[in-house]
Amino acid sequence: METAMASASQAPRGRKTRPLCSNFTAASVSALGCSLPASKSPAFTRRGRVFVARASVSVEEKTRTKTAVIRIGTRGSPLALAQAYETRDKLIESHPELAEEGAIQIVIIKTTASLAELPAGSTVGTASLRRKSQLLNRYPSLKVLENFRGNVQTRLRKLNEGVVQATLLALAGLKRLNMTENVTSVLSIDDMLPAVAQGAIGIACRSDDEKMASYLASLNHEDTRLAVSCERAFLEKLEGSCRTPIAGYARRDADGNCIFKALVASPDGTQVLETSREGPYAYDDMIKMGVDAGEELLARAGPGFFNR
């Protein structure tokens, strides 16, 4: 599944996606949700609340008049455009000469970036050991703020306050909350392997309630159930917990086979062990793939691997 930094792409199965959200300050937007540092935007007071303009502003002198031409660059989402128009209105309010037609232009610009473009020493916020270890393994020059907790709104608020320069969030969750306007880029499976069963919704009922079981059966997505079963078999073999950096992702390929990718990592990101399996997309075969992958990584990791 893909992970996002803050503009999202469709994730397979509607399950595991994790975005990187970026700190949208003036003249800056990054890719999976990560943003590049930029100059702070001016704060505007409105009804007792503080708003931050998230727009890139450039000024040119007109050749034939004394009025400056201002171009406000912005993303094309409704939220970004609203912020750009608010910036324009505040400028006109403070500088009446800018009310002249054409003095201020609002231009939609393409804003992209990536984790690789974050300056050395930039801080990424995540409470996930799995994300931390993969991030540090690929980008050792970055820093990770581990105690970056709270619901999605809280973490985005901390991002906008400048506590971190980027954060990683589950794209599936942002989609369900209709908050994908906060995504600046989406991480691929190769960049960030998801947690076991990430993005899947599990529903439980009483074991003797056949009526309820029949209702729930109509909601089941069989491909997802089989994929999650494979991933959980892998996790069970490793006896993983929330304190062990483990990732696993099973999917159906174009030929109808199961492709399973898995990894374990040391918490500090210095070591990442990966493996993969391919076989029939059927329950028994997929359970065997998960168990076999777990046994391999257990043997390769050796004792004390997760204590590093």
Q: Are residues 103 and 134 in the same domain?
A: no
Q: Are residues 52 and 93 in the same domain?
A: yes
Q: Are residues 93 and 131 in the same domain?
A: no
Instruction: Print the domain residue range for 131.
Output: 3-36+113-187
Q: Average of pLDDT values for 65-84?
A: 73
Q: Are residues 220 and 285 in the same domain?
A: yes
- Can you give the pLDDT at residue 278? 99
| 189, pLDDT greater than 50 | yes
Residue 100 falls inside a structural domain:
yes
Q: Are residues 230 and 300 in the same domain?
A: yes
Q: Are residues 17 and 147 in the same domain?
A: yes
Per-residue pLDDT tens over the stretch 226-270:
999 999 999 999 987 777 899 999 999 999 999 999 999 998 999
- Count how many domains the chain has: 3
Whether the predicted model's global pTM rises above the 0.95 cut? no
Where is pLDDT greater, at 297 or 242? 297
- Can you give the pLDDT at residue 68? 54
Mean pLDDT score of the chain, rounded to an integer? 80
User: Among 27-36, 42-51, 178-187, 222-231, whose mean pLDDT is lowest?
Assistant: 27-36
Q: Which of 78, 108, 138 is at the close of a domain?
A: 108
Q: Are residues 15 and 76 in the same domain?
A: no
Q: Are residues 257 and 224 in the same domain?
A: yes
Q: Are residues 293 and 150 in the same domain?
A: no
Q: Specify the CATH number for the domain of residue 302.
A: 3.30.160.40
- Can you give the pLDDT at residue 4? 61
3-state SS track over the chain: CCEEECCCCCCHHHCCCCEEEECCCCCCCCCCCECCCCCCCCEEEECCEEEECCCEEEEEECCCCCCEEEEEEECCCHHHHHHHHHHHHHHHHHCHHHHCCCCEEEEECCCCCCHHHCCCCCEEECCCHHHHHHHHHHCCCCEEECCCCCCHHHHHHHHHCCCCCEEEECHHHHHHCCCHHHEEEEECCCCCCCCCCCCCCCCCCCCCCHHHHHHHHCCCCHHHHHHHHHHHHHHHHHCCCCCCCEEEEEEECCCCEEEEEEEEECCCCCCEEEEEEEEECCHHHHHHHHHHHHHHHHHHHCCCHHHC
